[in-house]
């Protein structure tokens, strides 16, 4: 047989399965002759792996002399319809996520493939058809379009509620109109229409406003991608993006893995929102970071939009000439947020968690058939202990975690140490030590007593009452439809509801947020306060109750944020060692074990190994800094204890970073750019 006849096509395939990061991520398979013309790079194929049929993505195709291969190759079993083939740009994004987040490429591939079904969706995606989008001032739209012309990377800082959707639609309209014009006049370089991605933090945001885009641009021209969809709905939307029929794609963080065909614009709404970060499973990617890479791959314009952006994004505008900052401040009537001093309430005999003003407003809502939202920053009955004279906050002597009060003791949620209540301030020796704070369950009990015998539905929404996204969405939908009178809870209730029927928004004890033991605590406080200031309008009162009326952070309800960002960026610089982001990258190592002592011992052993390696290598010592291990703030999770180690890195060389991370055992979780370090 002639030598050339011995050559056969061999495909390197990424199996879309969960595989350990230390295993090979590519496997070789023979391409059957009957499939030779069908299979291309990016093809989705069916292969046999460990006696199971799984899907995979063709990464590379080679012509090899199979007789020189000293092991038997399996054949590809099947190739999916060529219309489902992924582009090289798509594969490039998967490689980036795998490399940057130190996550197996096979797992990233699994995330990128849709649930392939044979049936069409039986029902349409349910959306809120009653949401009213306010019109933006024409001069603001004109200002943005003028200032953003010929700029590819933009940070948009604004003070808008639903008007921002009107602005987004005007920006999108320019892209869509131009695409139609080019096609009509045969001037386009491609038969594919331009596509726009609108990235949002949570599904409920889509539920509330996506219908606005469908009415404006046509139902068939809009695709929605979110984990809340059924498999049939998801696949149907995925195909609309893949065949190019959907020009406007709206979705939560997983939409960045959609099969775009001609992406021209990415808008990231509320780019500061922590929901963009995948924190509970691998790959632990950040939607905004990946969206920026997606824009780079497609050479698309990207707009990061927020009333109070992340420090990292703000820093980009100061240090990256390609990033421009545009501020759009809409003229609004000066509606006051009413601050209630709860110390004064107690002096007049009111010892409940609700001020008299809030009680009066809530009761008044019944007769007007209005609704209310009550925000409580914490679960349970946790409180913080603080000195009224010098603002000292009680911290754990072992790990510097903020102590809470439980059962007449001070308690550390991190290392579980108990101590006696503090009567005298250890800092200024003052006698005015006090503990404050209420939990959602306690607040719910008080509100139920207030409305006892009255026909009003009161619902609590927090991580204790809902464990699934669908239940959360059901409660939020019922609230929008007027089936719930008072909605109370933690962060889940803080939404840009845009509902005329909400009369009262109660914010209870926000100072608990101010005092979190996190390097991002001040940034998150400012973002929270800025959001609160935007909520206040002529239709709804914002009542803010506090035990710390003089807290300087309240100034940020009105204060210009540019000064804050410059100050905060400077604060993150450390006089010695490696500074905090944006001047470094954080890597959180998490270890879980059902045995508390074994968990701690493993963390301490791993710390010693990494520390010794760093100290023995001058290049590593210059680029990496490691903290001593500590118990996580959520010390017990699903029956397992958790310990953390934080590595600060200023290393630009991914291979050098990975040489250090390769020391980490497979049973450790590696979280690149964590949203929190506790």
Q: What is the DSSP string of 213-262?
A: HHHHH-GGGEEEE-TTS-HHHHHHHHHHHHTT---EEEESGGGGGS--SS
Asked whether the predicted pLDDT for residue 416 surpasses 70, the reply is no
The per-residue pLDDT for 114 is: 93
Closest to 656 (Cα-Cα) out of 608, 605, 614, 612: 614
Do residues 582 and 315 lie in contact, with contact meaning Cβ atoms separated by under 8 Å? yes
- Compute the distance between CA of residue 198 and CA of residue 168 in angstroms, rounded to an integer: 9
Confidence class for position 5, pLDDT limits 50, 70, 90: low
- Compute the distance between CA of residue 344 and CA of residue 22 in angstroms, rounded to an integer: 61
Tell me whether strands 502-508 and 624-626 are parallel, antiparallel or unpaired: unpaired
The per-residue pLDDT for 221 is: 94
Which CATH class name applies to 585-672? alpha beta
Confidence class for position 491, pLDDT limits 50, 70, 90: confident
- Give mean pLDDT, residues 464-484: 83
| Residue indicated by tokens 């944020």 | 561
Asked whether the predicted pLDDT for residue 432 surpasses 70, the reply is yes
The per-residue pLDDT for 467 is: 65
How many Å is the Cα radius of gyration of the chain? 27
Q: pLDDT (tens digit, 9 = 90+) per residue, 626-673?
A: 999 998 877 777 789 999 999 999 999 999 999 999 999 999 999 999
- More confident call, 381 vs 405: 405
Closest to 273 (Cα-Cα) out of 204, 224, 369, 325: 204
Segments in 453-591 forming alpha helices (H): 469-480, 511-514, 521-535, 561-571
Q: pLDDT (tens digit, 9 = 90+) per residue, 526-551?
A: 999 999 888 877 778 899 999 888 88
The per-residue pLDDT for 1 is: 42
The burial class, CB within 10 Å (0-12 / 13-18 / 19+), for 478 is middle
Q: pLDDT (tens digit, 9 = 90+) per residue, 311-363?
A: 999 999 988 888 999 999 988 766 778 999 988 998 898 888 899 999 999 99
Confidence class for position 189, pLDDT limits 50, 70, 90: very low
Cα angle: 23, vertex 100, 157; to 5 degrees: 155
Query: pLDDT averaged over the chain?
Result: 88
- Compute the distance between CA of residue 204 and CA of residue 436 in angstroms, rounded to an integer: 32
The per-residue pLDDT for 609 is: 96
The per-residue pLDDT for 387 is: 82
For residue 661, the tally of other CB atoms under 10 A from its CB is 18
343's enclosing H/E stretch is helix 342-347
Indicate the SS3 state at residue 346: helix
Return the bridge partners of 487, or none.
Answer: 373, 459
Q: pLDDT (tens digit, 9 = 90+) per residue, 221-240?
A: 999 999 989 999 999 999 99
Confidence class for position 31, pLDDT limits 50, 70, 90: very high
Tell me whether strands 541-546 and 624-626 are parallel, antiparallel or unpaired: unpaired
Chain centroid, CA 103 distance in Å: 18
Do residues 66 and 5 lie in contact, with contact meaning Cβ atoms separated by under 8 Å? no
Q: What percent of the chain has pLDDT over 70?
A: 92
Confidence class for position 414, pLDDT limits 50, 70, 90: low
Q: Global pTM?
A: 0.89
Tell me the CATH number of domain 338-382+437-569, given options 3.40.50.300, 3.40.50.2000, 3.90.1150.10, 3.20.20.70.
3.40.50.300
The burial class, CB within 10 Å (0-12 / 13-18 / 19+), for 295 is buried
Q: pLDDT (tens digit, 9 = 90+) per residue, 560-581?
A: 899 999 999 999 999 888 999 9
Segments in 113-162 forming alpha helices (H): 138-148
- Give mean pLDDT, residues 416-420: 77
Q: Residue 429 corresponds to which tokens in the numbers above?
A: 């020796």
Closest to 632 (Cα-Cα) out of 591, 602, 581, 585: 591
Hey, do 138-328 and 338-382+437-569 end up sharing a CATH topology, with the first three levels equal? yes
Tell me the CATH number of domain 138-328, given options 3.40.50.300, 3.40.50.2000, 2.40.370.10, 3.20.20.10.
3.40.50.300
| Residue indicated by tokens 């939307």 | 237
Confidence class for position 259, pLDDT limits 50, 70, 90: very high
Backbone φ and ψ for 278, nearest 5 degrees, come out as -75, 115
The per-residue pLDDT for 186 is: 52
For residue 369, the tally of other CB atoms under 10 A from its CB is 11
Domain range annotation of the chain = 3-112, 138-328, 338-382+437-569, 585-672
Asked whether the predicted pLDDT for residue 380 surpasses 50, the reply is no
- Compute the distance between CA of residue 343 and CA of residue 612 in angstroms, rounded to an integer: 52
The burial class, CB within 10 Å (0-12 / 13-18 / 19+), for 5 is exposed
Indicate the SS3 state at residue 641: strand
Residue partners of 233: CB distance under 8 A and separation at least 6: 121, 123, 125
Asked whether the predicted pLDDT for residue 188 surpasses 50, the reply is no
The per-residue pLDDT for 79 is: 94
164's enclosing H/E stretch is helix 163-184
Asked whether the predicted pLDDT for residue 194 surpasses 80, the reply is yes
> What single-letter DSSP state applies at residue 161?
S
- Tell me, which fold does domain 3-112 have in CATH? GIY-YIG endonuclease (3.40.1440)
The per-residue pLDDT for 396 is: 78
- Give mean pLDDT, residues 408-421: 73
- Compute the distance between CA of residue 557 and CA of residue 510 in angstroms, rounded to an integer: 12
- Compute the distance between CA of residue 110 and CA of residue 451 in angstroms, rounded to an integer: 50
Asked whether the predicted pLDDT for residue 307 surpasses 90, the reply is yes
Closest to 25 (Cα-Cα) out of 98, 74, 87: 98
Do residues 166 and 137 lie in contact, with contact meaning Cβ atoms separated by under 8 Å? no
> What single-letter DSSP state applies at residue 629?
P
Closest to 603 (Cα-Cα) out of 643, 565, 661: 643
The per-residue pLDDT for 659 is: 94
- Give mean pLDDT, residues 593-606: 95
């Amino acid at each position: 047989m002639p030598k050339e006849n011995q050559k056969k096509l061999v495909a390197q395939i990424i199996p879309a399965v969960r595989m350990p990061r230390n295993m090979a991520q590519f496997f070789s398979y023979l391409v059957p002759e009957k499939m030779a013309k069908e299979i291309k790079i990016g093809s989705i194929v069916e292969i046999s792996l460990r006696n199971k049929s799984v899907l995979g993505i063709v990464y590379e195709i080679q012509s090899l002399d199979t007789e020189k291969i000293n092991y038997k190759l399996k054949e590809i079993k099947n190739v999916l319809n060529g219309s489902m083939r992924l582009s090289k740009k798509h594969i490039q994004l998967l490689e980036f996520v795998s490399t940057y987040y130190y996550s197996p490429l096979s797992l990233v591939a699994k995330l990128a493939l849709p649930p392939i079904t044979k049936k069409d969706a039986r029902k349409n995606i349910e959306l809120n058809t009653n949401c009213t989008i306010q019109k933006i001032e024409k001069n603001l739209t004109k200002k943005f379009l003028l200032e953003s012309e010929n700029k590819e990377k933009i940070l948009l800082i604004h003070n808008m509620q639903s008007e921002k959707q009107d602005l987004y639609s005007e920006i999108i309209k320019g892209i869509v109109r131009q695409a139609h014009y080019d096609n009509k006049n045969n001037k386009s370089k491609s038969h594919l229409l331009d596509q726009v991605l609108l990235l949002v933090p949570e599904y409920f945001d889509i539920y509330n406003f996506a219908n606005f885009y469908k009415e404006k641009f046509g139902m068939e021209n809009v695709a929605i991608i979110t984990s809340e969809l059924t498999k049939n709905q998801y696949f149907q939307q995925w195909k609309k993006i893949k065949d190019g029929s959907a020009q406007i794609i709206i979705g939560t963080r997983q939409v960045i893995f959609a099969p775009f065909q001609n992406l021209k614009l990415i808008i990231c709404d509320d780019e500061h929102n922590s929901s963009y970060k995948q924190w509970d499973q691998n790959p632990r990617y950040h939607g905004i970071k990946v969206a920026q890479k997606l824009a780079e791959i497609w050479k698309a314009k990207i707009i990061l939009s927020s009333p109070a952006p992340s420090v990292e994004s703000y820093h980009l505008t100061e240090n990256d000439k390609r990033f421009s900052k545009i501020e759009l401040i809409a003229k609004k009537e000066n509606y006051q947020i009413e601050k209630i001093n709860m110390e004064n309430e107690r002096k007049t005999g009111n010892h409940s968690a609700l001020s008299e003003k809030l009680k009066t407003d809530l009761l008044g809502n019944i007769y007007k058939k209005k609704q209310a939202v009550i925000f409580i920053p914490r679960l349970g009955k946790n409180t913080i202990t603080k000195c009224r004279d010098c603002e000292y906050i009680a911290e754990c002597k072992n790990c510097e975690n903020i102590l809470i009060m439980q059962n007449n003791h001070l308690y550390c949620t991190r290392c579980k140490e108990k101590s006696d209540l503090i009567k005298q301030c250890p800092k200024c020796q003052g006698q005015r030590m006090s503990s404050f704070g209420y939990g959602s369950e306690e607040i719910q009990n008080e509100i139920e007593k207030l409305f006892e015998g009255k026909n009003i539905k009161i619902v609590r929404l927090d991580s204790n009452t809902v464990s699934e996204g669908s239940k959360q969405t059901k409660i939020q939908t019922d609230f929008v439809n007027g089936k719930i009178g008072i909605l109370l809870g933690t962060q889940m209730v803080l939404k840009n509801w845009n509902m005329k029927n909400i009369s009262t928004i109660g914010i209870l004890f926000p100072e608990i947020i101010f005092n979190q033991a996190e390097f991002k605590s001040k940034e998150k406080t400012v973002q929270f306060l800025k959001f609160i200031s935007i909520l206040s309008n002529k239709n709804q009162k914002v009542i803010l109750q506090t035990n710390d009326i003089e807290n300087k952070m309240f100034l940020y309800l009105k204060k210009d944020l540019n000064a804050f960002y410059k100050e905060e960026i400077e604060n993150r610089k450390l006089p010695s060692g490696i500074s905090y982001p944006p001047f470094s990258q954080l890597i959180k190592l998490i270890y879980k074990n059902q045995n508390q002592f074994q968990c701690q011992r493993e963390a301490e052993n791993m710390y010693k190994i990494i520390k010794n390696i760093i100290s023995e290598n001058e290049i590593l010592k210059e680029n990496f800094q490691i903290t001593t291990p500590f118990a996580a703030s959520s010390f017990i999770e699903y029956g397992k204890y958790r310990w953390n180690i934080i590595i600060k890195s200023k290393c630009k060389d991914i291979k050098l970073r990975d040489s250090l991370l390769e020391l980490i055992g497979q049973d450790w979780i590696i979280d690149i750019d964590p949203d929190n370090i506790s």
